[in-house]
């Protein structure tokens, strides 16, 4: 465990209006609603508009946060956007968020740890505030995955959707949120989940250079169900808690079958797990903040609950945190 000086004080979210249902996907690839639900737990996902990008989703999530919790953003001194679908290579999504929201004096960075991104973003924000380098940080997880999906590829198009969530992290030595964190990477397996850009080869192997997400679902599944439970165990040991002490488990909403396996191996009951995939799909870095907001809106997550967050995905990268919830 470590001594934190940071507290999460507000949360917000946004998803695009357009829905892509399983029945609609049946018109694109050879599949059906029953097959998708049985294997993934996903019924529909949200799709960004033609001219709606990650910065737009990020801004709306923050506006939702500010309106609901009455938070001023003028004194935010760092904006961290966790995403692997930025509007462009530069400027960063965070810089676009700063401009649109009119935050006068703030640093801005994008963080790409794929589906583990939001957990990494929280870890960075806690470190900056605890070190005394910042006082008030926006951490945003947002994606427009629909723009990098090949809708003729059944292995990916049934899974991914668009959306975003945001939290405000502020300096607070009296009631900090952060108890412990854990992270790791298995980069030697990175070829099992990637989206091409400049390189045409990885570890000497040719890549599919088309700008779309490519994944070996079977290998990612095997990696996740073996790696994440070990990470959860290490995280709980650092936090000096057991599974019975966790009020709510909030994993990355990749696939319900993966979540069920992780819960079983980690002795974390599925009924005490919050996920956002049923109606939003896999939104990568956005799944955990969307789940957080969903849990609060449904009256599940309450002040003083102990939460265990765990993200995992491209990299292959994973990260988790134990939090004392205080909103």
Domain ends where: 171, 194, 224?
Answer: 171
Q: Could you give the percent of the chain with pLDDT greater than 90?
A: 91
Q: Are residues 154 and 227 part of one domain? A: no
| CA 228 to chain centroid | 15
* Residues with Cβ within 8 Å of residue 191, at least 6 apart in sequence: 202, 203, 205, 207, 216
What is the rounded CA–CA span in Å between residue 291 and residue 276?
A: 5
Q: Are residues 188 and 83 part of one domain? A: no
What is the rounded CA–CA span in Å between residue 27 and residue 25?
A: 5
How much is the pLDDT for 194?
87
The residues facing 8 across adjacent strands are 169
- The mean per-residue pLDDT over the stretch 97-105 comes to 97
Q: Are residues 161 and 265 part of one domain? A: no
What is the rounded CA–CA span in Å between residue 149 and residue 32?
A: 19
- The mean per-residue pLDDT over the stretch 74-102 comes to 97
Q: Are residues 156 and 122 part of one domain? A: yes
The 10 Å Cβ neighbour count of residue 88 is 11
Instruction: Supply the range of the domain harboring residue 95.
Output: 6-171
Q: Are residues 189 and 316 part of one domain? A: yes
**Tens of pLDDT along 15-50?**
999 999 999 999 999 999 999 999 999 999 999 999
In the block, residue with structure tokens 């994008």: 110
Q: Are residues 191 and 164 part of one domain? A: no
Domain ends where: 150, 171, 192?
Answer: 171
How much is the pLDDT for 203?
87
Answer yes or no: is 38 within a domain.
Answer: yes
Which tokens is 19 given?
Answer: 């829905």
Answer yes or no: is 295 within a domain.
Answer: yes
Q: Are residues 222 and 116 part of one domain? A: no
Q: How confident is the model at residue 257 (pLDDT cuts 50, 70, 90)?
A: very high
Q: Are residues 124 and 27 part of one domain? A: yes
**Tens of pLDDT along 59-76?**
999 999 999 999 999 999
CATH number, position 164? 3.40.47.10
Q: Are residues 216 and 153 part of one domain? A: no
- The mean per-residue pLDDT over the stretch 80-90 comes to 97
Burial of 72 (0-12, 13-18, 19+ CB in 10 A): exposed
Q: What CA dihedral angle connects 88, 58, 4 and 115, to 10 degrees?
A: -60
Q: Are 103 and 78 in contact (CB under 8 A)?
A: no
Answer yes or no: is 1 within a domain.
Answer: no
What is the rounded CA–CA span in Å between residue 87 and residue 96?
A: 9
How much is the pLDDT for 151?
95
1 pLDDT above the threshold of 70: no
Q: What is the largest CA-CA distance in the chain?
A: 55
More confident site: 213 or 273: 273
| CA 33 to chain centroid | 25
Domain ends where: 127, 156, 171?
Answer: 171
What is the rounded CA–CA span in Å between residue 56 and residue 163?
A: 10
Answer yes or no: is 144 within a domain.
Answer: yes
- The mean per-residue pLDDT over the stretch 121-141 comes to 98
How much is the pLDDT for 266?
97
Q: Could you give the percent of the chain with pLDDT greater than 70?
A: 100
Q: Are residues 10 and 146 part of one domain? A: yes
Beta strands in the chain (DSSP E): 6-14, 18-21, 44-47, 78-82, 107-111, 136-144, 162-171, 178-185, 193-195, 201-202, 205-206, 213-215, 248-251, 306-313, 317-324
Helix (H, G, I), strand (E, B) or coil at 213: strand
Work out how many domains the chain is built from and give that number.
2
- The mean per-residue pLDDT over the stretch 154-180 comes to 96
Q: Are residues 157 and 21 part of one domain? A: yes
Q: What angle do CA 203, 222, 225 make, to 5 degrees?
A: 125
Per-residue DSSP letters for 109-178? EEE--GGGHHHHHHHHHHHHHHTTS-SEEEEEEEEEGGGG--TT-HHHHTTB-EEEEEEEEEE-SSS--E
Which are the catalytic amino acids?
A: 115, 252, 282
């Amino acid at each position: 465990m470590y001594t934190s000086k940071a507290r999460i004080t507000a949360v917000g979210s946004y998803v695009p209006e357009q829905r892509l249902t399983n029945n609609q996907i049946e018109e694109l690839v050879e599949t059906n609603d029953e097959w998708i639900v049985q294997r993934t737990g996903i019924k529909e996902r949200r799709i960004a508009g033609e001219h709606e990008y990650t910065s737009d989703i990020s801004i709306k999530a923050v506006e939702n946060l500010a309106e609901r919790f009455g938070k001023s953003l003028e004194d935010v001194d760092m904006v961290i956007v966790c995403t692997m679908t930025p509007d462009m290579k530069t400027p960063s999504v965070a810089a676009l968020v700063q401009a649109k929201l009119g935050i006068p004096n703030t640093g801005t960075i994008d963080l790409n740890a794929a589906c583990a991104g939001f957990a990494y973003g929280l870890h960075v924000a806690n470190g900056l505030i605890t070190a005394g380098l910042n006082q008030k940080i926006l951490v945003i997880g947002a994606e427009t995955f629909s723009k990098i999906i090949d809708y003729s590829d059944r292995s990916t198009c049934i899974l991914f959707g668009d959306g975003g969530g945001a939290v405000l992290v502020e300096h607070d030595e009296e009631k900090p949120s952060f108890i412990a964190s854990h992270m790791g990477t298995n980069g030697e397996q990175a070829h099992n989940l990637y989206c091409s850009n400049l390189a045409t080869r990885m570890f000497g192997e040719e890549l599919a250079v088309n700008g779309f997400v490519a994944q070996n679902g079977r290998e990612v599944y095997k990696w996740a169900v073996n790696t994440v439970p070990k990470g959860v165990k290490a995280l709980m040991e650092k936090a000096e808690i057991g599974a019975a002490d966790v009020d709510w488990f909030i994993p990355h909403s990749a696939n319900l079958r993966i979540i069920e396996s992780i819960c079983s191996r980690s002795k974390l009951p599925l009924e005490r797990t919050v996920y956002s995939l049923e109606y939003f799909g896999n939104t990568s870095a956005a799944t955990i903040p969307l789940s957080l907001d969903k849990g609060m809106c449904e009256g599940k997550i309450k002040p003083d609950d102990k939460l265990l967050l765990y993200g995992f995905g491209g990299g292959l990268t994973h990260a988790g945190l134990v939090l004392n919830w205080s909103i």
